[in-house]
Amino acid sequence: MIRLGSLAGYPFDGPRVLAGWTPPATAGVYAILYRPDPDRERYAVIYAGHSEDLSTEGFPFRHSAAPCWIRRAGGKYAVHVATYEIPGGLAGHRQQVTDELVAVYKPQCNDRQYDSTWQDHWIGRVPDGQPPTGS
């Protein structure tokens, strides 16, 4: 088991080598990982996704992003996968977890990225830290 997400809140099964993995026919969130330092048991997230049926995603290497995974990991046997089946989770839940993983880890093989930049003018700013007056 590996915990992923903000505050490492989601218990993912794995990681396991993707090349020898047979995906289950279940809905879930998946993270594609590799070990930047093969001598350490630390993983980096290089892709995050979700599916209604993991067995239809093109695993292990027919997925459209697989060439990026292999290139980033340095070979197909260096690519790992971890999965999370959300208890009672619907597509919206899976998308939310996937979006969080992309925002937290900024995986290089995901096309969509999220910018965590905050700008005060989006909701206004109270000068000098004073409470709002309502005017």
Q: What is the pLDDT tens value at each position of the chain, 135 positions in all?
A: 999 988 778 999 999 999 999 999 999 999 999 999 989 999 999 999 999 999 999 999 999 999 999 999 999 999 999 999 998 889 999 999 999 999 999 999 998 776 656 566 666 665 666 666 655
Domains of the chain: 2-115 (3.40.1440.10)
Q: What is the pTM of this model?
A: 0.82
List the beta bridge partners of residue 11. Answer: 3
Output b/e per residue, 7-29; b: 16+ Cβ within 10 A. eeebebebbeebbebebeeebbb
Both tokens of 44, joined, read 């980096």
